Structure 1
Amino acid sequence: MKKVKVSLRPIVNNINLPTVMKTALLPGDSIERLFIATQLGEIFYIGDSSLRIFLDIRSRIIKLGTSEPGVAGGGYDERGLLGLAFHPEFYYNGLFYLHYSAAGTQGPGALSEHFKPDPCDLKTLNLRWLNRETKYNHIDTIEEWFLQANGQPQKRRTLLNLRRPFFNHNGVNSLNFSPESGKLVLTTGDGGAGYDPFNLSQDDMEIAGKIIEIDVSKNTFINNPPVVTRFDELPAPIQETLTVIAKGVRNIPGISFQRFYNQYIKYVGNVGQDLVESIFSFGQYKPIPVTQLIQASSMKSELDQEGIINFGWRGWEGAFPTSTIKNCPTNQALDEKTIAYYNEAINTLVKRLQPLTSYFHKDNRPDKFGGTALTGVQAYMGNGIPDLTGSVVFTDLARDKESQSPVRGVLAYTRVRTDCKLNDFSVIETDYNFGSQSAYYVSLGTNLDQTRLYLGVYGSMKVTDLNQGTIFEIIP
């Protein structure tokens, strides 16, 4: 693939960790503004070359940096303000939507010890999430807000309250509107902990591990929905607003829609476990109403899922059967890889979608890189960087730690092949000098017509290290 070089132009400095970047036209305004949401709960926008506060919900966000006993901690967290989406008619109706981890909901977590599957131990392959009302990590909430005539945002209603088993895999840039259906699309993850201990991603009744459409035009008149983990726990009026697009999700940094003649190609990235990070694309799909899923489950009947997208997790990690890795003490390149979930890999073999492209955590090829975690996927339709027009740009948090210090994230791109086969990818070279500062690439955003790309960079992996964020525009 063609070598592409770009420049990074800093437009905002010294902000907290950015999770969402997208543009919108404020009611009565004539200029598209860039909005930036931070993990801590601030939403800013750029107005007349200055940074202005749109909304501050820090008091509503769970205390970050103290994830759960024995896991991560020390300032790293995957909770917080994770989703921001503006209604397609925002200019006229002032409606926008938030996804965040709610204050005061910290729990002990679903498991008391670190989980890793053992192919020889049935117990680790058939774990169940028990005592969910007490054994959970936190509660995520999806809310509808509106911009009042006086310019002050106000909460209108809660759409969903989701109990999450672990602190991680809650998605990021997790709310986006579909230009096809007009519905709000929620992309989260399997609930976390690695290896999806309870196989929530393939269970049709579990909300975790799915891509869900929410019909926000329907008013359920339920202002404070119950806290749930499963679709069949939801009140009927809420069930009727939901359809499922996809399952087999590990963790997704948003969904991007690219117009192609009279249809849209959808792009999503699935964050990998130990082996690869994967980007998927699909055109046609047939979402399944949650009411149909529940009816089939209650009648124990088989539901036709021909049109639903299945990314294959937890049986598959991209194009590979999910593996556990046993370290080779003499040579890391010879680490032993064992299929973790053999039966599940077989069961989802033909049901799953093949990725558009994948990149490895270890890759010594001179023109590639070893990645850490996929943090953004966006279609680019602009002409400013001609070599990228029509391509899919993606970001990785940090190059393989052993190869570079200080830390640097990675920009790369790929394209859809006309024969639908797995495609290659190419690193996008940048000319920005970060000096001795670490530069984690934490988010990727675009404007309404996808002619501009924005990169969120942070100087630390810890959300509790404040004001280390920079927003760049990616330019020729």
Structure 2
Amino acid sequence: MIKVKVRLRPVVSKINLPTVLRSTILPSDSIEKLFIATQVGEIFYIDNGVIRTFLDIRPRIIKLGGSGGGYDERGLLGLAFHPQFYNNRLFYLHYSVAGTQGPGALSEHFSPDPCDPKTLNQKWINRETQYDHIDTVEEWILQSNGQPQKRRTLLNLRRPFMNHNGVNSLNFSPETGKLVLTTGDGGSGYDPFNVSQDNLEIAGKIIEIDVVKNTFIENPPVVTRFNELPVPIQETLTVIAKGVRNITGISFQRFYYQYIKNVGNVGQDLVESIFSFVHYKPIPVTQLVQASLRNTESDQEGFINFGWRGWEGAFPTSIIRGCSANPALDEKTIAYFDEAVNTSARRLPPLTNYYHKDQRPDKFGGTSLTGVQTYMGNGIPTLTGSVVFTDLARHDESRPPVRGVLAYTRVRTDGKLNDFSVIETDYNFGPQSAYYVSLGTNLDQTRLYLGVYGSMKVTDFNQGTVFEIVQ
């Protein structure tokens, strides 16, 4: 693939962790503005080079950084403006709710062990008490006085662990006009409860929410499964895909009279994966629930399955352990989940994979996929029509300062696995670490924005910078 070099032009600096980058036009305005949502609960926008506060919900956000040395995957995770925001002033938030901290779903760290089969079939029991936190999806309105106000709650989701809650998790589909929610598998590692393949589990799915329908339910119950939802809420939901580990949003790429959907699925131990699809057949949640009650399989033709936990990108998920009772024997057991077989024919192959360890001179070892966006502009001609993605930090850098990675790929017309290429950048971060934490674009996808953080501790404030990626 063609080598691409870009510059990073600073837009704003000294902000907290920039989780979501969005653009919209404010009512009574005519110029598109860049909005920046931070993990701790602030939403800013840039107005003629000046950073202004749009909304501050920090008191609503769960206390972050309490464990794991300050690293956290909760907080303000999603922001989406309604396609008719200029007229109806509606926008949507996804965040982890203050005061909902629980003990977690498991009392000890989970690691699947083929030498101990019971670890491969864990169950999430006592869900009402054994959970980590609660996430909420809300509809807000920008009032005529310029002050945002919450209108209603769409979903309340109980999450088993701190991680894999999704990020950049709310987007509107230009095809259906519905709000798209991308949920992770709930966390830990290896999806211990196999929720991503369970049709009734909300976790591990891509979900469409019809926000036009009013359920007249002011405070939805806190749930983990679709069948726990009241029927009026079920009727607003359809499921696009399952088999999700953790998704960094969804990007829609206009291609003649249809849209290519590009999503990134964060990997476990081996690879990070980007998937691409055009046609899909969403399944109404009411249909999934009815099929479960009848103990039958719902029609899944055209339903997208990314394959997790059976597959990590293009590879069956493998678990390697030494099981021999004789320590003198250098003997290893390689095991695979049943889902590797069950989903092998149904799963969607990835558009591209990149490895956590890769010694090839023109590649890189990645850590975690943090953003996927389509670029349709002409300012960087070699990237026009490409799928651009970011990785948190190079895996092969053994000492600080850490550096994130920009790269790109293209959708193949034959739908097969494609290569990718690193995008070289000229910015000198000096001795400061630079974790690439988010990727955003403007409304017509002609500009790209990169969120960078100097530390992955949410308690290290004012180390965030947002750049525009330019030629």
TM-score range, shorter chain: over 0.9
Residue 109 of structure 1 corresponds to 104
1:143 counterpart SS class: strand
Match of 2:233, SS state, is helix
Where does the alignment leave 5 or more consecutive residues of structure 1 unmatched? 68-72, 328-334
Separation of aligned partners in 1, 2:275 and 2:331 = 27
Aligned twin of 1:420: 415
| SS of alignment partner, residue 254 of structure 1 | strand
One-letter amino acid of the structure 2 residue matched with residue 318 of structure 1: G
Q: How does 1:244-393 map to 2 (within 5 A)?
A: 244-325=239-320, 339-393=334-388
Deviations 1:68-99 (A, max 9, x none): xxxxx211000000000000000000000000
Whole-Å Cα distance in 1 between the matches of residues 122 and 309 of structure 2? 13
Aligned twin of 1:63: 63
Partner in structure 2 of residue 23 of structure 1: 23
Is it true that 1:118 corresponds to 2:89 in the alignment?
no
What corresponds to 2:451 in structure 1?
Answer: 456
Deviations 1:164-202 (A, max 9, x none): 000000010000000000000000200000100000000
**Is 1:324–1:337's contact at 8 Å kept on the other side of the alignment?**
no
Q: Which residue does the alignment assign to 2:43? A: 43
SS at match of 2:288: helix
Report the counterpart of residue 327 of structure 2 in structure 1: none
Q: Is the 8 A contact 1:322 1:339 kept in 2?
A: no
Q: 1:222 to 1:364 in 2, by over 3 A?
A: same
Look up the match of 2:441: 446
How high is the sequence identity, in percent, across the aligned residues? 82
Is 1:206 the counterpart of 2:201? The answer is: yes
Say how many residue pairs are matched: 464
Indicate conservation of the 8 Å contact 1:76/1:462, yes or no.
yes
Q: Is the 8 A contact 2:364 2:396 kept in 1?
A: no
Preserved CA contact (<8 Å) 1:14 1:467? yes
Preserved CA contact (<8 Å) 1:323 1:337: no
The partner residue of 1:82 within 70, 77, 80 is 77
User: How far is 1:144 from its partner?
Assistant: 0.1
Read off the aligned partner of 2:71 and give its amino acid letter. Y
Could you tell me which of 135, 138, 143 is aligned with 2:133? Answer: 138
- Does 2:157 align with 1:162? yes
Deviation at 1:316, TM superposition (A): 0.3
5 Å-filtered alignment, 1:422-437, equals 422-437=417-432
Q: Residue 185 of structure 2: SS of its match in structure 1?
A: coil
Other-structure match for 2:192: 197
Change (3 A) 1:449 1:108: same
Q: Which amino acid aligns with 2:87?
A: Y
1:187 aligns with 2:182: yes
2:113 and 2:321 in contact (8 A); partners too: no
Output the aligned Cα RMSD. 1.3
Q: Is the 8 A contact 1:325 1:336 kept in 2?
A: no
**Aligned CA distance change for structure 1 residues 336 and 261 (closer, same or farther; 3 Å):** farther
Structure 2: which 5+ runs fail to align?
Answer: 323-329
**Cα distance, 1:35–1:339 mapped onto 2, change above 3 Å:** farther
CA contact (8 A) 1:115 1:193 kept: yes
What CA deviation, in whole Å up to 9, does each residue of 1:312-356 have, x standing for no partner?
A: 0000000001123559xxxxxxx9996543421011000100000
Cα distance in 1 for residues equivalent to 2:36 and 2:203? 26
3-state DSSP of counterpart to 1:74: helix
Offset of residue 9 of structure 1? 0.1
The farther-off stretch of 357-366 and 302-311 is 302-311
Q: Secondary structure at the match of 2:87?
A: helix
Q: Which SS does the other structure have where 2:338 is aligned?
A: helix
Aligned mates of 2:384, 2:220 — CA distance in 1: 43
CA contact (8 A) 2:434 2:452 kept: yes
Query: What secondary structure, in the 3-state scheme, does the structure 1 residue paired with 2:287 have?
Result: helix
Say which of 210, 220, 227 aligns to 2:215.
220
Range with bigger deviation, 114-123 or 255-264: 114-123
Question: Hey, what does 1:330 align to over in structure 2?
Answer: none
| Distance of aligned partners of 1:175 and 1:338 in 2 relative to their CA distance in 1, 3 Å threshold | farther
Quote how far apart the aligned CAs of 1:122 are: 2.1
Aligned partner of residue 378 in structure 1, secondary structure? strand
Q: Deviations over 1:393-434 (max 9, x none)?
A: 000000015455310000000001112110000000000000
